[in-house]
A and B are shown apart, each in its own frame.
Chain A
Amino acid sequence: MGVLDYILAGIMEALTGNPALVLGPIVLSWPVLLVALGFLTGVLIGATPGLSGPFAMALALPILISIFGFTPDALLPVLGFLVGIMKGATVGGAVPAILFNTPGTPDAFMTTLDGYPMAKKGQGGKALRVAHFASVSGDTFSDIVLFVCAPFLAISIEAFLGLPEKAALMILSLSFVAVVVGNDTWKGIMAACFGLLAASIATGTDSYPRLSMGSDVLAAGLPTIAVVIGVLVVGEIFTSFEDMWTSAREKRPEPAAADPGDSTLTMAKRRRLLPFIGTSMTIGTVIGALPGIGTTLAAALGYTAGRKMHKGATRFGEGAPEGIAATEAANSAVSGANLIPALSLGIPGNVAAVFIILAADTIGGFNPGPSVFRSTADEVNPELVVAFALFTLMVAANLMNWITGAWFMRLLGGLIRIPKQVLLPIVLLLTITSVYVQSAKMSDVYVLLFFGAAGYLMRRTGVPILPFVIAYILTDPLETTIRAAFEASGSDPWFLFGGVIAPAFLACAAAIVLGAGWLRGTPAPVPAPAPASEKETTID
């Protein structure tokens, strides 16, 4: 099969492969239906103060697997729903930032700087339109870069890197994530090592499951979804509970929603925003392609670049639409680019990519990494068809975003009023239930709560979460690759230092760890705990 055949097969697989509804020549497939549902859910979740996209992905994954099972037909609908949530939540996050002055995620804080002043001036609807236009432009651009870069990167890696080089690349990525996420290199390294240790329980090649302490529960291995959701979601819920408990939020009035008011955004105004959007989406895409660097940095850099470019009457921070456009284009451009390392290397770059990889691992039939893009003339690579089907679903989500996103954002602006104090306990119950129904074992719930407590303590002590999660996900491929490279080298103890590329990767890893202070600057001083009204729940 040629590349065009694979692209066509992927498109057909996504659009017609698993029909949910057939009306004559019109076929509505489950993957497309799930993309639409995921997108609407994502906008709803993103627009709800206190929730974020990764929260929804964490909750949705066990539910989706319960619905669709572990069959090959389940893969695209599940991935489609997750992609839909990812994109929907990205645009939805601007709604509370603009109308309630409540950033749902740290990157949305920049949106409040100009969004809320615009809303107070009766231009909330216009601000939402600007946010949507910039967000969807950034997202689309980032996806195009993903479609072009991921296959080339994967093919290059497959062609030029052997087993030791791949192992060294994984070590480099892990070092990078451990160092750049959070504010403390040593704590990042500790989190990554903790992830490696947790993932090594009950795995290995010996007949006795290592580190299982003779326990039947541990001998079966830690349930990956319970561990990841525990650290990411339950830990964040407990942290938010404590913030609300220590603050006097319940005695304060709920922030009043500003009236959306005027919502027109003419073509001329859109054209004036394009330079800001173009600059920011380029920044966001570059930042997003690096594993571990989140949307917050992209939003901050995009906003700063926009402020330098801006020469209008309304200054940044006083209700300039260009400020919203610069922020939203940058943070939305991260989402697609974050999948470049995930799809081409199998290395998750952010929480959303973690759930995409987790879904693929759990269901089977698709192993994100360089082998996905392997193409030979004499045999069909089904994973490549799935990859192009996934790209098709991302395009479908973008089309939906362009067509309905702005309308849906405005609609939700008037609907979301659920207090966080009520919402988060319900989310905790839903999380416990969705983990339990997977295996029907309370031991999974105890694992969830144990890692939830670990996640809470890590947050409170400044130990970053993402290195733990990424190390946990990467452990199996890393160990397998290292074992295979060692055996292929004839048990050479210096197998990771042969050739040029692997030592170069390892030297880069060492340089990143040693040069962390320069990369990040000195650690940020400890901020005073903000009241819960000023903090929002985020697992980004």
Chain B
Amino acid sequence: MNRSAKLCDCVIGLCGLGAALLILLVWIPADIDTGVIDVWRRSVRIGDAMLPTFAALGILISAAAIGLRALLNRPGTGLQTISLVFLAWSAVILALSITLMMFTGPALTALWYGSEVPYRRLVTTAPWKYSGFVLGGAALVACFTALVRHRFSWRNVLIGLIAALLIALMYDLPFDNLYLPPNGDV
């Protein structure tokens, strides 16, 4: 068993044990009104806590087995590379794209109409209803393409804009009752 596989299994074992104990000792008692077995009008029934308790016990036992196996140097399936830099960049791109989706429409409306017309009244009016989705979607496509290619190009931005616009039109033109993100939440 190589070192990274052992470390991975130890981490899985510890995380699983911690999570299972937290679920069993804190979450289930605090957040389920009936117990594992529930007595209601003298009839004994399976309570709502039964299933999550069994699931958490399963996690506990399997995590303990995985951790123990790693400590005993038994072979496991091990770990593939996880890059924290990649994860950080992905989180930034997702946050940026969703922020653009959420705030572009209201910001553009405020710039154009001032405070007289809130964006909520324009969520069914073109081009306002597309603005947030197309800009945020284009950012998502362009940034992830740039990330995986290690280079930024305006061509990718154009591809992102076209893709986001086509997806927007695909949903919006045939269906009157569908909202593009984030127009249903405004």
Query: Which residues in A have some Cβ–Cβ distance to B below 8 Å?
Result: 66-67, 182-184, 186-187, 189-190, 192-194, 196-197, 200, 204-206, 208, 210-213, 238, 241-242, 244-246, 250, 421-422, 424-426, 428-430, 432-433, 436-437, 439-442, 445, 449, 457, 459-463, 475, 479, 482-483, 486-487, 491, 522-526, 529
Other-chain contact of B31, A193, A211, A486, A524 (Cβ < 8 Å)? A211
Bound state CA distance, A84 and B149, in angstroms?
34
B77 touches A241 (CB 8 A): no
Q: Given A189-B58, A200-B51, list of 15 further CB < 8 A pairs? A: A66-B175, A67-B175, A190-B16, A190-B66, A197-B56, A210-B31, A238-B90, A244-B148, A425-B140, A429-B137, A433-B137, A433-B171, A437-B179, A445-B98, A526-B79
Q: How far is the CA of A21 from the CA of B140 in the complex (A)?
A: 40
Verify A211–B28 contact, CB threshold 8 A.
Answer: yes
Return 18 A-B CB contacts under 8 Å, by A number: A67-B175, A187-B77, A189-B61, A190-B66, A192-B58, A200-B52, A205-B45, A210-B52, A211-B32, A241-B86, A250-B149, A430-B167, A433-B181, A440-B185, A459-B80, A460-B82, A523-B75, A529-B80
| Bound-complex Cα distance A108 to B102 (A) | 41
| A193 touching B58 in the complex, CB below 8 Å, given contacts A66-B175, A432-B181, A482-B46 | yes
Partner of A429, one of B66, B164, B178, B179: B164
Nearest CB of B to A247, in Å:
9
**Could you tell me which residues of chain B, from 44 to 80, have a CB within 8 Å of some CB in chain A?**
44-46, 48-49, 51-52, 54-59, 61-63, 65-66, 69, 75-80
- Tell whether, in the assembled complex, residue B43 and residue A475 are in contact, meaning their CB atoms are under 8 Å apart: no
A244 CB, min distance to chain B CBs, angstroms? 4
Chain A positions within 8 Å of B163 at CB level: 426, 429
| Interface flags, B127-152, vs A, CB<8A=1, else 0 | 00000010001001110110111110
A187 touches B12 (CB 8 A): yes
Residues of B within 8 A of A426 (CB): 141, 159, 163, 167
What is the bound-complex CA distance between A254 and B164, given in angstroms? 26
Tell me, rounded to whole Å, the shortest Cβ–Cβ distance linking A450 to chain B. Answer: 11
Q: How far is the CB of A166 from chain B (nearest CB, A)?
A: 16
CB distance from A49 to the nearest CB of B (A): 15
Asked whether A437 and B178 contact (CB < 8 A) given A211-B52, A523-B75, the answer is: yes
- Complex Cα spacing A395 to B62, Å: 43
Task: Among B27, B54, B98, B140, point to the contact of A428 (Cβ < 8 A).
Answer: B140
Indicate if B183 sits at the interface (CB-CB under 8 A): yes
Taking CB atoms, residues of chain B closer than 8 Å to A524 are: 77
Please report the C-alpha to C-alpha distance between residue A231 and residue B31 in the assembled complex, in whole angstroms.
Answer: 25
| A526 with B56: CB separation less than 8 A | no
CB distance from A206 to the nearest CB of B (A): 5
Q: Judging by beta carbons under 8 Å apart, are B185 and A441 in contact?
A: yes
> Nearest chain B CB to A164's CB is how many angstroms away?
13
Given contacts A212-B31, A246-B81, contact A186 B62 (CB under 8 A): yes
Looking at A186, A424, A479, which has the most chain B CB atoms within 10 Å of its CB? A186
- Is the beta-carbon distance between A462 and B79 smaller than 8 angstroms? yes
Asked whether, in the complex, the Cβ of B78 is within 8 Å of the Cβ of A462, the reply is yes
Contact for A422 among B28, B86, B156, CB less than 8 A: B156
